[in-house]
Amino acid sequence: MTTLEQSLYSVDKKGYYGKFGGAYIPEMLYPNVEELQINYLDIIYQPEFQAEYHALLKDYVGRPTPLFYANRLSEKYQTNVYLKREDLCHTGAHKVNNTIGQILLAKKLGKQKIVAETGAGQHGVATATVCALMGLDCIVYMGEIDIKRQAPNVARMKMLGAEVRPATSGSKTLKDATNEAMRHWINNPVDTHYIIGSVVGPHPYPDMVARFQAIISEEIRWQLLEKTGNENPDYVIACVGGGSNAAGAFYHYLDEPSVQLIAAEAGGHGVNSGMSAATTFLGKTGVLHGSKSILMQTEDGQVIEPHSISAGLDYPGIGPMHAHLWDSGRAKFFAITDEESLTAGFELSKLEGIIPAIESAHALAVLPYLKASANETVVINLSGRGDKDLDTYMKYL
Amino acid sequence: MNRITKLFQEKPNNVLNIYFTAGFPNLNDTTTVLEALQESGADIAEIGMPYSDPVADGETIQQSNQVALDNGMSLKVLFQQLQGIRAKVSIPIILMGYINPVVQFGIENFCKKCQEVGVDGLILPDLPMDEYYEEYKPIFEQYGLLNIFLITPQTTEARIRRIDEISDGFIYMVSSASVTGGTSGITDTMETYFNRVNAMNLRNPRLIGFGIKDNVTFTKASQYAAGAIIGSQFIRVLQDSTETTLHNNIVEYVKSVKG
């Protein structure tokens, strides 16, 4: 695992990316968060930790995931499109890269119980999976609305032995599941580790999760070098809810200015429709879930309930690293509507025989806007598979 | 002199701080509640500024926050309601809430408004201590506002000492590792923790909060600190009141706690 200690885009000692980040937490969480802040780098860079993490990524998750040249998609858009196949990870999405890392960390910290939040259910499944693997108790909070729209993942979590608790407050989606998971951690500070699923939360979570997901761009680099003779593509595209798959896909390219980083946010019914989750278009600086970032909020500073067809992107903020990439202009952000994402999902299915998660379809939907040329290379992070979204897709068949 | 400082000078024991959410149960109850609190002998009124995502709060206070927001409560409305309150209410007033709405209002503007209406102190549970010290403290002091910090059974001695050094008024001693609204009462483990903190000879008095709900728990907590804070149980009292019974229910409840 290589790191970015010197990067303009890595976290500073106080936990900030530029003006975003920090640890805005009530005192009840302070000892737990401080314990992580002090220990996370030492633990995850121990040789035996690295050995165990990489062995599990290889033999359990199935890494490296392929980098696939999408021939027919490339033909259609007159460019060279590579898909990073995170959808082929065990459990069906990139989320497991992080949960493997964090469960090993939790064990090193002597924790016996795990709590997590989930939106689409992918992070919940990935957490329940590693808890089963390691024999730890697992509680997953999930918004009541998401429980209904992601029933297969709820069943998977239960089958894996996790307890799924509905978050019934607020918008009953990912934001509220995160609140409930934090409250659970406040109530159980000693024996429980909170596995956050995205690059959000108080420092060191955004940095820690980004490091565990950085395996994605680490692999893209050598895979692309093998295939094209150049480790740097012209574009890397990823969808952003909280932004963990994007953080992983961008990580090793942050300091390569020739590589354009592109984030696809959930535009919902359209940025100005009042039914959107396009944070950088609609938000301003604010504090949610322990860090300062860009946040969708009212004039009074109340958090707005977002909308997206995709449960995994239905979040009113973005990770502080992405806020900094947006603010500094390092990454370009697109708002992709529900409809555009569905179109892109059907297109990939028919052109390449791959059904993407609706989250990942948002990244694919950037292609028509990109206007990349025939000699350019585009890498799209296909963060998850679409099995969980069949009900939604079928409504539009 | 700041009303909180003055209170603890005059009354070192059995201080009762009552929390209520602004705009709950009805938008315009703020003045009624404040007057009833003073009349019934509460020593400090802590007004919650409602927030959509109150992570340190349990279900009761969360719901009161949501109701208040649905009723149309905001900082702007709250400051309008508190305009002129000092003509009627003289007990210390503290505003409690999460940092985001305060930041959106504008820190300086917020502090200025607080001073204008006669607020004495602030509890902002998700404002980091270092950030307070480096950026907020001078502004709070300029407008005569005391910042109250929380400590928990897990807070280290070094951190308690630092909090004691950089804050004035009192220290909010959270009785157990939990969100608000717990009902466990005061256990042996808590007593050990209270005694440990008492033995530190801090400059600031402490009030015990979380799990205090009646005369028994208030009296017991007061043995280990300068007094105690009641939140969730008082919200339940408000919830069970109608417009006509609100005032009397508050007076009756607070008197029953004081015994």
Q: What gap in Å lies between CA B137 and CA B146, rounded to an integer? A: 9
Q: For chain B, which domains are there?
A: 3-252 (3.20.20.70)
Q: Is residue A33 part of a domain?
A: yes
Residue A67 sits in a domain whose CATH number is 3.40.50.1100
Same domain, A46 and A66: no
E-strand ranges in A173-250 read: 192-195, 235-239
Query: Is A371 a residue whose pLDDT tops 90?
Result: yes
Q: From the DSSP assignment, how many helices (H) and strands (E) are in chain A?
A: 17, 14
- HEC-encoded secondary structure of A118-168: ECCCHHHHHHHHHHHHHCCEEEEEEEHHHHHHCHHHHHHHHHCCCEEEEEC
A165 interfaces chain B, CB cutoff of 8 Å:
no
Q: What gap in Å lies between CA B233 and CA B166, rounded to an integer? A: 31
Give the domain-ending residue among A192, A209, A226.
A209
B193 interfaces chain A, CB cutoff of 8 Å:
no
Nearest chain B Cα distance for residue A291, angstroms:
10
Sign of the Cα torsion B222, B224, B226, B229 reads negative
Q: Is residue A2 part of a domain?
A: no
Out of B52, B56, B126, name the one closest to residue A287 (CB).
B126
- Return the pLDDT at A236: 98
**In the structure, what pLDDT confidence band is assigned to residue A4 with cuts at 50, 70 and 90?**
low
Out of A169, A188, A301, name the one closest to residue B104 (CB).
A301
- Return the pLDDT at A343: 98
- Write the DSSP assignment of B188-230 as a string of letters: HHHHHHHHHHHTT--SS-EEEESS--SHHHHHHHHHHSSEEEE
B149 interfaces chain A, CB cutoff of 8 Å:
yes
- Return the pLDDT at B188: 86
- Return the pLDDT at B222: 97
Cα–Cα distances (Å) from B132 to A367, B135, B143, in that order, read: 45, 6, 15
Q: How many CB atoms lie within 10 A of CB A163?
A: 13
**In the structure, what pLDDT confidence band is assigned to residue A29 with cuts at 50, 70 and 90?**
very high
Q: Is residue A15 part of a domain?
A: no
Q: Is residue A7 part of a domain?
A: no
B134 interfaces chain A, CB cutoff of 8 Å:
no
Q: Is residue A18 part of a domain?
A: no
A297 interfaces chain B, CB cutoff of 8 Å:
yes
Query: Is B205 a residue whose pLDDT tops 90?
Result: yes
Q: Is the distance from CB of B143 to CB of B2 less than 8 angstroms?
A: no
Peptide bond into B25 cis (omega under 30): yes
Same domain, A308 and A232: yes
| A124-148 per-position pLDDT tens digit | 999 999 999 999 999 999 999 889 8
Same domain, A155 and A108: yes
- Return the pLDDT at A6: 62
Same domain, A127 and A274: no
Same domain, A160 and A250: no
Q: Is the distance from CB of A268 to CB of A337 less than 8 angstroms?
A: yes
Q: What gap in Å lies between CA B172 and CA A273, rounded to an integer? A: 44
Same domain, A180 and A253: no
A181 interfaces chain B, CB cutoff of 8 Å:
no
Out of B130, B149, B177, name the one closest to residue A28 (CB).
B177
Same domain, A171 and A265: no
ipTM for the predicted complex comes to 0.94
Same domain, A70 and A44: no
A3 vs A62 pLDDT, higher one: A62
Active site residue A383: yes
Query: Residue B178 and residue A187: Cβ atoms within 8 Å?
Result: yes
A187 interfaces chain B, CB cutoff of 8 Å:
yes
A188 interfaces chain B, CB cutoff of 8 Å:
yes
Q: What gap in Å lies between CA A11 and CA A6, rounded to an integer? A: 10
Residues of B in contact with A188 (CB under 8 A): 177
Nearest chain B residue to A189 by CA distance is B177
Same domain, A309 and A221: yes
pTM: 0.96
Domain that holds residue A138: 23-57+96-209
Query: Residue B177 and residue A301: Cβ atoms within 8 Å?
Result: no
- Return the pLDDT at A1: 52
**In the structure, what pLDDT confidence band is assigned to residue B125 with cuts at 50, 70 and 90?**
very high
Give the domain-ending residue among A209, A234, A260.
A209
- Rg from Cα positions in chain A: 19
Give the domain-ending residue among A180, A209, A238.
A209
Catalytic residue of the set B43, B57, B120, B164: B57
Q: Is residue A4 part of a domain?
A: no
| Measured CA angle at A92 (ends A88, A98), to 5 deg | 100
Nearest chain A residue to B124 by CA distance is A26
Could you tell me the end-to-end alpha-carbon distance of chain B, in angstroms, rounded to an integer?
A: 30
Name every residue whose Cβ is closer than 8 Å to that of residue A41 and which is 6 or more positions away in sequence.
Answer: none
Give the neighbor-by-neighbor strand order of the sheet with A20-21.
Answer: A16-17, A20-21, A291-295, A284-288
Same domain, A290 and A354: yes
Q: Is the distance from CB of B109 to CB of B79 less than 8 angstroms?
A: no
HSE-up of residue A77 (Cα within 13 Å, Cβ side): 26
Sign of the Cα torsion A244, A246, A251, A255 reads negative
Q: Enumerate the β-bridge partners of residue B172.
A: B150, B207
Out of A169, A299, A302, name the one closest to residue B62 (CB).
A169
Helix axis angle, B232-239 to B246-258, nearest 10°: 150
Helix axis angle, B75-82 to B30-40, nearest 10°: 50
| A293-347 per-position pLDDT tens digit | 999 999 999 999 899 999 889 999 999 999 999 999 999 999 999 999 999 999 9
The number of folded domains in chain A is: 2
Q: Which of B41, B36, B1, B49 is nearest to B17 (CA)?
A: B41
CB pairs under 8 A between A and B: 104
Which of B71, B104, B127, B151 should be substituted to probe chain A, the one whose Cβ sees the most A Cβ atoms within 10 Å?
A: B104
Paired tokens of A11: 């976290």
Same domain, A284 and A201: no
Same domain, A154 and A109: yes
**In the structure, what pLDDT confidence band is assigned to residue B178 with cuts at 50, 70 and 90?**
confident
Comparing A133-137, A249-253, A326-330, B209-213, the range with the smallest average pLDDT is: B209-213
Strand (E) or helix (H) holding B111: helix B107-117
Instruction: Please identify among residues 94-113 of chain B the ones whose CB lies closer than 8 Å to any CB of chain A.
Output: 98-105
